[in-house]
Amino acid sequence: MTVSNGLGLLVVAARDNNSIAIVNVAKMTLNRTINGFSLPQAVVFVRGDKALVVTNGGDGTVSLINTMDFRKLAMLKLPSNADNLDFDSSSGLLYVGYGEGGVGIINTTDWSLLRSIQLLGHPEGLRVDMNRSLVFVNIPAGNYIAVLNKTNGEVLGNLPVTNGTGIFPMALDSVHHLLFVGSRSPHELVVINAISGAEITRVSMPGDADDIFYDSANSCIYISSGQGYVTVVKEVGPNSYQLVQSIATYPGARTSFLDSKLHLYFLAAPQQQSQPARIIAYQVGS
């Protein structure tokens, strides 16, 4: 999911329907559904919210959509399974994980593929460090986080994640140089020093963690888990973290998004028997 505060819209990649849903944030109502995608995975606004990017896991394409009429402007083809992404608004560069081990760097101004970086395993969470020229990419198959130069794509090193598998979601505190990684076995939040790679601490949490967001305003980490919980972990002191709340949601409600400007945390709950698929908004703050 992604939000444009200027447009007042929340966009949801509805993977199983090969569509994206456009939601009015103020009214929390569905504006429209746009079809014609191929297992859409991730979305982000670019070009000052005048365009929307959609990655497609089915055919490996990355679509550029006009937000005035939501028509496709352009498309780039990656080798396969275009998946998670992160956008550096200061440079206009988009980083997209794909295939069995690749990250594509796309110039969103002229919509060109600048380069592809090869890694040892499919990339999951990507996080651009706005304070340093780095991109962090977690590789579940290798249980490590690759550190890339965000300008030229050079692989600078790897940060191993030990005693944990299924490290799919990741968040970054770029001010204090901390990475928050969700391990699915065991079910733990792992806090890692993003400079040295040293493990700082671990916090138990519900299983099947899929999205993690860090809120610098209140030093909290929000985690959505397929087991049916939103978990809140708070920094209570230097290098000390505590699970403060686990909110029961719905089984399979794994996808989420934090809008730090509106102080809202959005959770996507899938269709269940008589209950339709829906978006739930939580107010966050200290």
Where residue 286 falls among pLDDT bands split at 50, 70, 90?
low
Given a cut of 60, whether residue 16 has pLDDT beyond it is: yes
Parallel, antiparallel or unpaired: strands 2-4 and 51-56: unpaired
Of 230, 205, 227, which is closest to residue 215 (Cα–Cα)? Answer: 230
For the whole model, what pTM was predicted?
Answer: 0.96
| Alpha carbons 253 and 270: distance in angstroms, whole number | 6
* Per-residue model confidence (pLDDT) at position 151: 87
* Per-residue model confidence (pLDDT) at position 172: 97
Bigger pLDDT: 12 or 274? 12
| Alpha carbons 185 and 183: distance in angstroms, whole number | 6
Reported as a single tens digit per residue, the pLDDT across 146-173 is 999 998 999 999 999 998 899 999 999 9
Given a cut of 90, whether residue 272 has pLDDT beyond it is: no
Q: Which two three-digit tokens encode residue 165?
A: 């598998």
Question: Domain extents for the chain?
Answer: 1-129, 161-286
Under DSSP, is residue 271 helix (H, G, I), strand (E, B) or coil?
A: coil
Lowest-confidence pick of 100-104, 139-143, 238-242, 263-267: 238-242
Which residue in this structure is represented by tokens 């550096």? 88
* Per-residue model confidence (pLDDT) at position 119: 95
The CATH homologous superfamily for domain 1-129 is YVTN repeat-like/Quinoprotein amine dehydrogenase (2.130.10.10)
Which residue in this structure is represented by tokens 């969700």? 182
| Alpha carbons 68 and 107: distance in angstroms, whole number | 21
Given a cut of 80, whether residue 73 has pLDDT beyond it is: yes
* Mean pLDDT (whole number) for 214-223: 96
Same topology between domain 1-129 and domain 161-286: yes
- 8 A C-beta contact, residue 137 and residue 97: yes
| Alpha carbons 2 and 23: distance in angstroms, whole number | 10
* Per-residue model confidence (pLDDT) at position 40: 98
Contact partners, residue 173, CB within 8 Å, separation at least 6? 179, 180, 214, 216
Reported as a single tens digit per residue, the pLDDT across 75-120 is 999 999 999 999 999 999 999 999 999 999 999 999 999 999 999 9
- Look up the CATH number of domain 161-286: 2.130.10.10
Reported as a single tens digit per residue, the pLDDT across 123-140 is 999 999 989 999 999 999
